Structure 1
Amino acid sequence: MERIESEHVVFGAGLVGGFLGAALMASDQSVGWVVREATRKKLQSGLKITDYHDNEATVTDLQFVTPNPEGLFDVPAPRYLWLTVKCTALDAVLQEIKSLVGPETIIICLQNGLGAEDQVQQAFPNHTVIRGVMAANVAELQPGHLHRGTQGGIMLPKQSETEALVPAFQQPALPLRLLDDLTGLLWAKLQLNLNNPINALADITLKQELDQRDYRRVLAAAMEELLSVAKAKAIELPQLGPQPPHRTPKLLRLPNWIYRRAGHKVDAKARSSMWQDLKEGRQTEIDFLNGAVARLGEELGVACPVNQALTQLIHDVEAGKRARGIGARELWDLVS
Structure 2
Amino acid sequence: MTGPAVKSATRPVPIIGIMGAGAIGLYVGGMLAQGGAQVVFAARGRTLEALGRGLAVSRYDGFKAELKPEHYRTGSAHALASCDIVLFCTKSGDTESAARELAGTLGPGATVISLQNGVGNLDILKSLLPDHEIVAGTVPFNVVRLSPNAVHCSMEGPVLVGACGASAVLAELARGSGLKLQVRDDLEAVQWGKLLLNLNNGLNVISGLPLRRQFADPGYRTVLAMAMDELLAALDAAGITAVGATRTNPRLIPKILRLPTWLFRVVARQQLKIDDTARSSSWDDLQAGREPETRFLNGAVCALAQAHGRTAPVNALVCRLVDEAFAVKASPEMPGDKLLALAQNEAG
CA distance, structure 1, for counterparts of residue 82 and residue 290 of structure 2: 30
- Report the secondary structure of 2:144's partner residue: strand
CA distance, structure 2, for counterparts of residue 28 and residue 209 of structure 1: 38
Give the corresponding residue for 1:195: 200
Unpaired runs of 5+ in structure 2? 8-14
Give the corresponding residue for 2:215: 210
More deviation, 195-204/163-172? 163-172
Q: Deviations over 1:118-143 (max 9, x none)?
A: 11111121210111101111012345
The AA in structure 1 aligned to 2:65 is A
Q: Deviations over 1:177-215 (max 9, x none)?
A: 111211110001000000000111111100010011101
More deviation, 247-256/2-11? 2-11
* Residue pair 1:34, 1:66 contacting (<8 A) in 2 also: yes
More deviation, 200-209/225-234? 225-234
More deviation, 179-188/144-153? 144-153
The AA in structure 2 aligned to 1:252 is L
Unpaired runs of 5+ in structure 1? 68-72
The AA in structure 2 aligned to 1:257 is W
CA distance, structure 1, for counterparts of residue 246 and residue 89 of structure 2: 23
Give the corresponding residue for 1:268: 276
CA distance, structure 2, for counterparts of residue 295 and residue 242 of structure 1: 27
Q: 1:205 to 1:179 in 2, by over 3 A?
A: same
Bigger helix share: 2
- 1:89-238 paired onto structure 2 within 5 Å: 89-170=94-175, 174-238=179-243
* Residue pair 1:12, 1:83 contacting (<8 A) in 2 also: yes
CA distance, structure 2, for counterparts of residue 272 and residue 237 of structure 1: 22
Structure 1 residue 164: Cα displacement: 2.2
Give the corresponding residue for 2:327: 319
Give the corresponding residue for 2:11: none
Structure 1 residue 314: Cα displacement: 0.9
Q: How large is the Cα RMSD of the aligned pairs? A: 2.0
CA distance, structure 2, for counterparts of residue 119 and residue 321 of structure 1: 29
Q: 1:79 to 1:330 in 2, by over 3 A?
A: same
Deviating above 4 A after TM superposition, structure 1's stretches of 4 or more consecutive aligned residues are 1-4
- Report the secondary structure of 1:220's partner residue: helix
Q: 1:274 to 1:97 in 2, by over 3 A?
A: same
Structure 1 residue 297: Cα displacement: 0.3
CA distance, structure 1, for counterparts of residue 48 and residue 42 of structure 2: 9
Matched, 1:66 2:76: yes
CA distance, structure 1, for counterparts of residue 295 and residue 203 of structure 2: 14
* Residue pair 1:31, 1:63 contacting (<8 A) in 2 also: yes
Q: Percent identity?
A: 30
Give the corresponding residue for 2:300: 292
TM-score normalised over the length of structure 2: 0.89
* Residue pair 2:218, 2:261 contacting (<8 A) in 1 also: yes
* Residue pair 1:50, 1:173 contacting (<8 A) in 2 also: no
CA distance, structure 2, for counterparts of residue 242 and residue 128 of structure 1: 29
Structure 1 residue 12: Cα displacement: 1.3
* Residue pair 1:200, 1:275 contacting (<8 A) in 2 also: yes
* Residue pair 2:40, 2:79 contacting (<8 A) in 1 also: no
CA distance, structure 2, for counterparts of residue 143 and residue 126 of structure 1: 33
* Residue pair 2:208, 2:331 contacting (<8 A) in 1 also: no
Give the corresponding residue for 2:12: none
Give the paired residue count: 331
Give the corresponding residue for 1:303: 311
More deviation, 232-241/78-87? 232-241
